[in-house]
Amino acid sequence: MKGITYMATAITIVMALTGCNEWLDVPVEGKSTSKELFEKGDGYRSVLHGLYINMAEDVLYGKNLQCGLVDFFSNQYNVNVRHEDLSSTALIAAGKRDYQNKDLRPEIDKMWMAAYKCIGAANDLIQNVGGENAGKFAQGEMEKSLILGEAKAVRAYVHLDMLRLFAPAPKDDDGGVYVPYITHFPNTLAQHMKTSEVLDAVIKDLEEARELVKPYDLSTRGNEANTSGRARFYSEFEYGTGIYANRQDLDEFFVGRGYRFSYWAITATLARAYQYKGAYDDTFYDKAKQCAEEIINSEVTVEDKKKYYPFKEERFDGFFYAERPEDARDVRMVDNLIMGVYRDNVRLGLISNMLAQYPRKKAVVAQDQLFIVNTEGQDIFKTVDNIDESARDIRCTRLLYVPDGAYKTNLSVKWYVKENDLVERDKTLSIFPLLRTSEMRYIIAETEARKSNFAAAYKIINDMREHRGLGTSPLAVKSTFGDFQKDLVREAQREWISEGQLFYLYKRLGADVKRDDKSVKPFSKAEAVLPLPTDENL
């Protein structure tokens, strides 16, 4: 829990130093962050934390790019429901991919502006820290490099998502220019670039960032801070490690690496970017696989010579046997989680807002905007061979719930707002997942399938299914990539419920998507590419 405590404290300090978050608006106006923050090394720490605060806002990864708009775009939620369950015209339009809708279009524009505001703040930090004397930082060159590397990773990660939203996927690249890649601050005349050019810039930033954070994250202390999900997110270190024995002397800026762009989070983002580039050059599928395997197979040897495998195992015992969402624990599945941004929902007064999407009981007076998982409309708990697995797959039996008094209203337990165990509630809801080992496993499996190594690909998928309650029902090994892709998509539909990944998967693969009229076809370009703002004001 100390990791969460530190993040909450760090964010409070940022707010105090920067006048209630006003500095986050400054880059849009072309002005730099207050120079007072850059007078000391700790000020750079505060500015870095500010980037993550920005990412965790509702308009970005606190909702819209997490369980909100982007999951409506993917047909994941049922929008053909009673007005009392969903009345937001913007969300209904999002579910129909009617991007020009008068209520939805402003929300899309806000998302774009918030993303580039965050990028502008990252650029301001990069420009300042890059020329700074290492002696200003408590841990010298290592700390300076860590801050610079993380800022570059933020810049790359957010740009990549803007590319995945506002430009065609590489397989559909028409040679047009779509989104800018901004590397200078201020920048008011942004040059829009081709998909391939933006992707190359993303990869360049990530490769540089990974080298910058490596000295700490692969050091003894860095490894000890990452022996498990509990270490990454809650600072629950392993007994016998040096970091456990010397907690009283610990500089907490260097723990809680699950909340920030560590070496492993950057490597995972690189795997995602390399896979995206594979449509241009299939050797990048191999590069993506190499990154994913480096994460899954990573081995940490600590001071007592004991070895740990931070990302090898998946643990679901906290909720595997929990029949009620109130009894479920660790639904954030932190051993499966590489990175997620932090937000203190209690301090920000956001718990009631979250209850509006994920209520415990159906309100008598209509006031909800429910994110109802379209399990029946999408058939996600039936295999592609039409075998119903809903009674055994824990992603259905344990990670979906129906509010008391409701009917056929499946909501994600991942965002359930506990009534009684407030400690567990806040541990869960304060983390907004960005990168999981499940994605890394899917990357490895897909790469094997692209090489016609179908037995190896299905071994990965079936091992994952076994851990999710389907050990007695392995999928049959198919012999074409098209058939494998259908099975992969079906597994991803279950795995990534309310985590903002399905739209990108459908788009990258050109996968079939089931529509409200029961037709099945890939997204058209008009559905796959969001409209650019008419007034970018970068």
Is residue 85 over pLDDT 60?
A: yes
Question: pLDDT per residue over 334-386, tens digit each?
Answer: 999 999 999 999 999 999 999 989 999 987 555 568 999 999 889 999 999 99
In a domain, 82, yes or no: no
Q: Are residues 158 and 265 in the same domain?
A: yes
Q: Is the Cβ–Cβ distance between 243 and 221 less than 8 Å? A: yes
Q: Are residues 333 and 302 in the same domain?
A: no
pLDDT of residue 15: 46
Q: Quote the pTM value.
A: 0.94
Region 72-77 average pLDDT: 97
Is residue 238 over pLDDT 50?
A: yes
Q: Which of 307, 340, 358 delimits the end of a domain?
A: 307
Q: What is the 3-state secondary structure (H, E, C) of 476-512?
A: CCCCCHHHHHHHHHHHHHHHCCCCCCHHHHHHHHCCC
pLDDT of residue 35: 72
Residue 431: domain span = 325-527
Rounded CA separation 99/90 (Å): 9
Q: Are residues 300 and 407 in the same domain?
A: no
In a domain, 19, yes or no: no
In a domain, 27, yes or no: no
Rounded CA separation 328/323 (Å): 8
- Overall domain count for the chain: 2
Band of pLDDT at residue 250, cut at 50, 70 and 90? confident
Question: pLDDT per residue over 437-447, tens digit each?
Answer: 999 999 999 99
pLDDT of residue 21: 36
**Quick check: helix, strand or coil at residue 459?**
helix
Is residue 208 over pLDDT 70?
A: yes
CA separation, residue 432 to residues 19, 31, 343 (Å): 25, 29, 8
In a domain, 535, yes or no: no
Region 152-163 average pLDDT: 99
Report residue 340 as tokens: 């997620």
In a domain, 21, yes or no: no
CATH number of the domain bearing residue 381: 1.25.40.900
Is residue 265 over pLDDT 70?
A: yes
pLDDT of residue 538: 47
Is residue 6 over pLDDT 60?
A: no
- Phi/psi at 220 (nearest 5 deg)? -60, -50
pLDDT of residue 34: 61
User: What 8-state DSSP symbol labels residue 132?
Assistant: S
Band of pLDDT at residue 19, cut at 50, 70 and 90? very low
Q: What is the 3-state secondary structure (H, E, C) of 23-51?
A: HHHHHHHCCCCCHHHHCCHHHHHHHHHHH
Burial zone of 139 (CB within 10 Å; 0-12 exposed, 13-18 middle, 19+ buried): middle
Q: Are residues 360 and 433 in the same domain?
A: yes
β-strand partners of 194: 177
CATH number of the domain bearing residue 139: 1.25.40.390
Q: Is the Cβ–Cβ distance between 384 and 487 less than 8 Å? A: yes
Rounded CA separation 120/302 (Å): 38
Q: Are residues 330 and 257 in the same domain?
A: no
Question: pLDDT per residue over 27-63, tens digit each?
Answer: 333 445 567 788 889 999 999 999 999 999 999 999 9
Angle at 279 between CA 190 and CA 461, to 5 degrees: 120
Rounded CA separation 303/156 (Å): 34
Phi-psi region of 368 (alpha: psi -120 to 50; beta: other; left: phi over 0): beta
Report residue 270 as tokens: 């690189």
Least confident residue range of 20-29, 104-113, 467-476 = 20-29
Report residue 294 as tokens: 């480096």
Nearest to 265, CA basis, from 309, 188, 213, 330 = 213
